[in-house]
Amino acid sequence: MNYLPLQIIVSLFVTFVVFRLTKKFKDNILKPSEFIGWLLIWIIVLVVFWLPQTTSYLALFFGIGRGVDLAVYVAVLIIFYLIFRLYLKIDKQQREITKIVRHLALDKKEKSIENKNGDD
Amino acid sequence: MKTFIIIPCYNESAHLAEVINNVKEYGEVIVVDDGSTDNSRQLAQNLGVTVLEHLINRGQGAALETGDSYALNKGADIVVHFDADGQHQAGEIPKLIKPITEGRADIVMGSRFLNQTGQTPFFKKWLILKPAALFQNLMYGAKLTDAHNGFRALSHKALEKIRITQDRMAHPSEIIEQIVNNELRYLEVPVTIRYYEFGQGLTGGFKILRDIIFGKINK
């Protein structure tokens, strides 16, 4: 029962996150696959905090000494993956911005040529 | 032949007017102002050349692609990429264009290392440019002596085939890749580069490598 305050804080936080996720899902901001994926992640967080011994079983299965270590490894992996995904998304958005800037530049030039021809 | 000289420009008011005056006898000049915050755009406009304006800075690769798109739309036979900082020599433009007009190449690139009179700083040559050239030769199967030399001439065919999607400084490698993939005929001719500053350092080289890798994943 040593973990009780932390368990309560984490549970409240997870409840809040799941509430936000559900709202986003209802508002069609999240796809069903994304909603389920995030929900699973947060349920796993709850399980890890309420039943920490479950991570030990998994850790033994993977050949890692302690459950906590496994949780840290998995968390780091997930964070790296998310950063990678974010980087790709930013890169893609940068390219989209360039397309818009280019379109505006060419469009402006064409319009100025048309106006000039119209004046002549 | 309808020739366009494309000059990407970002805050280059120090050299731009001189560069424009030097190149305009070789073709129609297009300055792509890449969101400059100095008076580069006004300078170019005052000299009566075509100016395309990027509202915000998008990088040299992006500016070149904007110029290429415009030139292609205007029926260009040849396009020359020329730096705004005065590094390239306008007098060498005919040398770059010649193989295209003679039908010997679809794209001609300047090389600093084909003649022995080059003044490339030692460390830049052996720590950055030569490894970069080796990297692109190994990666794309090209046979080139120089890498990331922005001085090049493209035929109409090359202009149609090459689409620059690398906005920043990785576009020269992307161009090489597209030359090889599209089986374009390429040549190098010796050119002289005047160095005002060290240019892209080692970190610049790593940024280019990062852009190439992410560009591949993010297609």
The residues, any chain, with a CB within 8 Å of residue B55's CB and separated by 6 or more, are A101, A104, A105, B35
What φ, ψ does residue B154 adopt, rounded to 5°?
-120, 135
Q: Kindly list the residues from chain B whose CB atom is less than 8 angstroms away from the CB atom of residue A95.
A: 165, 167, 218
Mean predicted confidence (pLDDT) in A96-107: 97
DSSP code of residue B61: H
Which of A42-46, B19-23, B122-126, B213-217 is modeled with the greatest confidence? B19-23
The model's pLDDT over A38-53, given as tens digits with 9 standing for 90+, comes to 999 999 889 888 888 8
Q: Closest CB to A91: pick one of B54, B58, B214.
A: B214
Distance from CA of B142 to the nearest CA of A (A): 27
Chain B nearest-CA residue for A87: B214
C-beta neighbour count of B27 within 10 angstroms: 23
Q: Residue A55 has which token pair?
A: 């991570």
**Rounded Cα gap, residues A102 and A66, in angstroms:** 55
Distance from CA of A99 to the nearest CA of B (A): 9
Q: What is the CA radius of gyration of chain A?
A: 25
* ipTM for the predicted complex: 0.86
Helix (H, G, I), strand (E, B) or coil at B174: helix
Is residue B146 a contact partner of residue B189, using CB atoms and an 8 Å limit? Answer: no
The model's pLDDT over A53-69, given as tens digits with 9 standing for 90+, comes to 888 888 888 888 888 88
The residues, any chain, with a CB within 8 Å of residue B157's CB and separated by 6 or more, are B106, B184
* Amino acid at position A113, single letter: I
Distance of CA B219 to the CA centre of its chain: 22
**Domains held by chain B: number:** 1
CATH of the domain at B182: 3.90.550.10
Q: Is B57 on the interface with A (CB under 8 A)?
A: no
Q: Residue B116 — very low, low, confident or very high, per pLDDT cuts 50/70/90?
A: low
Cβ separation of B62 and A109 shorter than 8 Å? no
Q: Closest CB to A109: pick one of B52, B58, B218.
A: B52
**For testing contact with chain A, the best of B57, B66, B164, B165 (most A CBs within 10 A):** B66
Cβ separation of B32 and A105 shorter than 8 Å? yes
Cβ separation of A88 and B65 shorter than 8 Å? no
| Location of structure tokens 């190149």 | B23
Q: In which domain, by residue range, is B144 found?
A: 3-217
Q: Output B129 or B6, whichever has higher pLDDT.
A: B6
pLDDT at B199: 52
Q: Kindly list the residues from chain B whose CB atom is less than 8 angstroms away from the CB atom of residue A98.
A: 58-59, 62, 65, 167
Q: List C-alpha distances in Å: B113 to A102, B9, B131, B146.
A: 34, 25, 13, 7
**Bridge partners of B4?**
B28, B79
A16-21: long-range contacts, CB 8 A cutoff, minimum separation 24: A17/A42, A18/A42
